[in-house]
Amino acid sequence: MKKKLSIISIISIITLMLFNQACQKKISSSAASKNPTEVSQASAVITVSPIHYTHAMVLLGKTDGCGYILKLDDGSVLEPRGLKEEYKKDSLEVLITYENMKGLRSICMMGPIVNITDLKLFYK
C-alpha cells in the first residue's frame, strides 16, 4: 500500500510540474494578448495547499434513474454521493475532491460512483 501511494505521489508531482509549465506558457501568451479569459480557462486541476481539486460541471442526468452527475473536463462522468442540495444546479461549475467508492453499482450507470470529500464553487 505504501509503495502504491509513493508511486501515485511521484506521478502526481510529475504531472503537476508538467502542468505548471504548460500553464506558465499559457499565462505568458495570454498576458501578451491581454485576454484574461484564456488564463482562467487554462486549468482543469487547481492546487490549494496539498489538495488537488478537479474542475467539473454539475449536470442533471438525462437517463432514467439518474440524479445529478459531474462531467469532468476530459469528458468522463462521475456519479456523486454526498452532493449537497445547494450544488444541485444544472451547468454549475465546481471544483471537487473525491474518493472512488469501489464495489457500488447504480441504476444510472453513467460513470463510477464517488464520494465528494470537498466542493467549492468555480469562479471564472
List where CATH 2.40.50.500 sits in the chain.
44-124
pTM value is 0.59
- Of 8-12, 90-94, 106-110, least confident by mean pLDDT is 8-12
Residues 6+ apart with CB under 8 A from 28: none
Is 74 in contact with 56 (CB distance < 8 Å)? no
Specify the CATH class of 44-124 in words.
mainly beta
Give CA separation, 16 vs 21, 75, 76, 85, in Å.
9, 20, 20, 32
Q: Give the side-chain half-sphere CA count within 13 A for 105.
A: 1
Average pLDDT, integer, range 15-28: 54
Q: Give the side-chain half-sphere CA count within 13 A for 119.
A: 21
User: pLDDT (tens digit, 9 = 90+) per residue, 62-82?
Assistant: 888 789 999 999 999 999 988
